[in-house]
Structures are given as structure tokens and as C-alpha cells.
Amino acid sequence: MIDRYSITASAEKVAERFSVDVPAFYHEHYNASPTQLLPVITVAAPEGLSSFYWGTAPEWAKNKTVSERLINQRAENFNEKPTLRKALRANRCIVPADGFYGWKKVGKKTSIPYRFVLESEEIFAFPGLWEEFEDTEGNEIQTFSIVTVAADSAVHPIQERMPLILTPANEKIWMNPDAREEDLLKIIANPEIPALNFYSVSPRISERNIDVPSLITPTPPADQFGNLTLFD
């Protein structure tokens, strides 16, 4: 499961990279976490940045089904679930990012957090799906999930899954409102993962209420309790 990522670029850089208007609500996220309002760009409104909840919505969504609580969509499921293919055709978005986090298990109760970034250190995008529904008070709420794939050779030593990272060419296809379903499924089934670097970060990344620049600073490997470890 992928449940943390970062988008630390300035509004100006995001606007330039994705050719979108960036509203005043935008701010950097060093510890983007489920249930938070986070920036996305939808196929339906590609001219601007939107703000949707990642996955499980807050308290008012307790009655949502299990599938609607998902923060990730496994690439392998798209061929098996017609509902996913329907969403693929109608409710695509991209999620701006410049890094994501993974945890390496080094014991039954010990894991070390790592941050993955492009070798180029550029901003990139995850492919996502979004949905809209009403809360108990009749307010329209938008949420999104991120497509994940089996980890590549860089990520696999840390964990088994990773978010799909779109190449610029595949990003254009994903955001094309007239894209053919077979072309979209090809992007998911045959991911072209760009070269990645990674490094260990502070175990404070596990705390959702902490969102500060120091979280992306390289840190000696430590477990979730802050204890330094020899495993790296």
C-alpha cells in the first residue's frame, strides 16, 4: 500500500510543469496522507488545480463501502473489475508529486522509512481515479485514489508495491479526454518507470499531523521508534 507522498514544489513550478492555474489554496505537502485535501488535475478540468480528499473521507464517510475507501487502485484489478474500467474512461486525474515514501521491514516490529525521487529530481505525476458523492448534509465531496503497480528493481528491496509514475508521453495520453481504453490499459499493464533514487528519512513521516520540510531531509536509518539501526 502507498499511503505517503510529497509535492514540495512551489505554486509557480507546479503551474509551469502542468500548464495549469494554481489557486491560492495550494501549499507544499511534505507528508501527503490519506484523508487530506490534496492537489489533483482532472481530465474534466485540465486547466486548473483541484483539491480532493485522498481515499477515505473524514468521519461523515463511515458508511461508504470498502471499495470506496481505497486509497490505491492495483493495476492488476483493471482487467477484472468493470467498475474500474468505467472509472478509467470517465474519471481520470493526475496527482502532482515529487517523491513517495516506502517502509523497509527489518524485523517483526521494525521498519525504516525511505523517500523515492526521480534521478532528475523533477516533478512528476501519478495516474489517479476520482469520484464525487454527497455527504450526510448534502455537500458534494470529491475523493481520489492512486494507481499502483508491482515494485521495480529500485523499489522492490524496500517494499513490494509502488505508485505508477507517468512518463511525459503517457501523461498526455492519460489526460486526453478522447484516449482509447486499450491505450489507457496499456499504460497500466506495461508501466514505464523512470529511473529513481532513494534515501532514508525521519521516522516522523509516520505521523500524519507532521508536515514540515525536515521530513524530506536524508536521515540515518532509524526505525519507527526513532532507534538508529544498522540495517540499510
Q: Can you tell me the distance from the alpha carbon of 96 to that of 209, in angstroms, rounded to the nearest whole number?
A: 21
Residue 31: which domain range? 5-216
pLDDT at position 66: 41
pLDDT at position 107: 80
Q: In terms of DSSP bridges, do strands 161-163 and 140-150 run parallel, antiparallel, or are they unpaired?
A: antiparallel
Residue 146 binned pLDDT confidence (cut-offs 50, 70, 90): very high
Q: For residue 93, give the nearest of 140, 51, 139, 154 by alpha carbon.
A: 51
Find the mean pLDDT for residues 175-190.
95
- How many domains are there within the chain? 1
User: In this structure, is residue 226 part of a structural domain?
Assistant: no
Compare 222 and 80 and report the one with higher pLDDT.
80
Q: Which residues contact 208 (CB under 8 A, 6 or more apart)?
A: 31, 33, 34, 35, 36
Asked if the model's pLDDT at residue 11 lies above 90, the reply is: yes
Find the mean pLDDT for residues 141-167.
95
Compare 56 and 36 and report the one with higher pLDDT.
36
User: In this structure, is residue 14 part of a structural domain?
Assistant: yes
Q: Which residues contact 102 (CB under 8 A, 6 or more apart)?
A: 2, 113, 114, 116, 155, 158, 159, 162, 198
Asked if the model's pLDDT at residue 200 lies above 70, the reply is: yes
Q: For residue 95, give the nearest of 217, 4, 186, 194 by alpha carbon.
A: 4
- How is residue 184 written as a grid cell? 489507457
Residue 58 binned pLDDT confidence (cut-offs 50, 70, 90): very low
User: In this structure, is residue 80 part of a structural domain?
Assistant: yes
| Start-end of H helices in the chain | 11-18, 82-90, 168-174, 181-189
User: In this structure, is residue 223 part of a structural domain?
Assistant: no
User: In this structure, is residue 230 part of a structural domain?
Assistant: no
Find the mean pLDDT for residues 131-158.
89
User: In this structure, is residue 92 part of a structural domain?
Assistant: yes
CA-to-CA separations, 105 to 4, 112, 114, 151, in angstroms, rounded: 16, 7, 11, 15
Q: Give the number of other CB atoms < 10 A from CB of residue 101.
A: 24
Asked if the model's pLDDT at residue 225 lies above 80, the reply is: no
What's the CATH number where 139 sits? Answer: 3.90.1680.10
Q: Encode pLDDT of 97-141 as tens digits.
A: 999 999 998 887 788 999 999 999 999 999 999 998 876 777 888
User: In this structure, is residue 229 part of a structural domain?
Assistant: no
Q: Encode pLDDT of 76-85 as tens digits.
A: 999 888 889 9
Least confident range of 26-30, 134-138, 167-171 = 134-138
Helix, coil or strand: residue 133: strand
The answer to whether the pTM exceeds 0.85 is: yes
Buried/exposed 119-128: b ≥16 CB within 10 Å, e otherwise: eeeebbbbbb
Residue 24 binned pLDDT confidence (cut-offs 50, 70, 90): very high
User: In this structure, is residue 25 part of a structural domain?
Assistant: yes
Asked if the model's pLDDT at residue 22 lies above 80, the reply is: yes
